[in-house]
Amino acid sequence: MTRPIDVLHLGRDRVICAYEIDGVIVDPGPASSVDTLIDRLGPVEPRVLLLTHIHLDHAGATGVLCKRYPKLKVYVHEVGAPHLIDPSKLLKSAGRLYGDDMWELWGEVRPVPEDRITALSGGETVEGFRVAYTPGHASHHVSYLHEATGDAYVGDAAGVRIPPYAWTVAPTPPPEIDVEAWLDSLHTLACWNPQTLGLTHFGQVTQVTDHLHRMRMALVEQAERARHKDEETFIARMEQELFKATDPATVESFEQAAPPNQLYMGLERYWRKKAE
């Protein structure tokens, strides 16, 4: 049984979704919302964290949870592992994006003891989950397929979609966006032929083929727009589309999960690096 848990990031619903599957948690979310996670877990004591990547909105609570649960095991891609053990570089990078809002947004980021971590490279099976390397959003992003149910847990690899709407946005913040690698990762996910896609932002998608198609289109469209338009136009167009496709409260959830100015910055950087 999978349980999607809305951790109510900054008190807002439909921003960050953690998943619990028989004591396994996929992406616990940030430390700032860890009390809600623990509260909603109820009597369940988590034994394993499967991290899709180390960004603070997905994995920020890892250190705090390791302290609270002394037997908790953590799985993460090998490139991400050192930054859980010593989060200083991760915090510096996030600080450039979030500035003075760091503490309010993400809370306490504790280092993770090395002996709790199992580093992944993709291709292995752990705790009943197949692991695939799915870069594009981050160079160390992995996705998980629960073999018993066919449910996939894909972090940010399959985009941002806030129910009840199908409208999909590609989360493209700096500094590691790679559009080609991301399109390959979407192919990798499609080849799993999963029953559902568990998005961090937000919830499980059952129309898998349609969703992956929408995500591919969103990624290509956003990339093209960032290449040819300026930041102001990029943001205005995205907001127009969001308001047209959803409702004002949902736009708030979208913009908290994936701030449009950051989506522009990540793609602008991608094109600049590519030209160099």
- Is residue 112 within 8 Å of 84, Cβ to Cβ? yes
Give the up-direction half-sphere exposure of residue 175: CA atoms within 13 A in the CB hemisphere. 9
Interface size with Zn ion, residues (CB under 5 A): 2
Least gap, CB of 121 to Zn ion (angstroms)? 22
Tell me which stretch binds Zn ion (CB under 5 A): 5-13, 20-28, 55-63, 73-81: 55-63
Helix (H) or strand (E) holding 276: none
In terms of CB distance, is 12 or 229 closer to Zn ion? 12
The Cα 205–Cα 17 span in angstroms is: 12
Q: Does 255 bind Zn ion (CB under 5 A)?
A: no
Q: What's the CA gap between 189 and 27, in Å, rounded?
A: 18
Q: Using the rule CB under 5 A, give the single segment among 57-65, 120-128, 161-169, 185-193 that binds Zn ion.
A: 57-65
Nearer to Zn ion, 156 or 176 (CB): 156
User: Binding to Zn ion by residue 156, rule CB under 5 A?
Assistant: yes
Q: 146 and 2 in contact (C-beta within 8 Å)?
A: yes
Q: In whole angstroms, how close is the CB of 115 to Zn ion at the nearest point? A: 27
**Residue range at the interface with Zn ion (CB under 5 A); choices 74-82, 151-159, 191-199, 209-217:** 151-159
| Rounded CA separation 239/151 (Å) | 31
6 binds Zn ion, rule: CB under 5 A: no
Site string (69-88) toward Zn ion, x via CB under 5 A: --------------------
Q: Is 164 exposed, middle or buried (0-12, 13-18, 19+ CB in 10 A)?
A: exposed
**Of these, 57, 151, 176, 255, which contacts Zn ion (CB under 5 A)?**
57
Residues 121-150 as x/- pattern, contact with Zn ion by CB under 5 A: ------------------------------
Asked if 52 and 29 count as a contact pair (C-beta separation under 8 A), the reply is: no
Q: Of the candidates 196, 189, 15, 197, which has an alpha carbon nearest to the alpha carbon of residue 106?
A: 15
Site for Zn ion, rule CB under 5 A: 57, 156
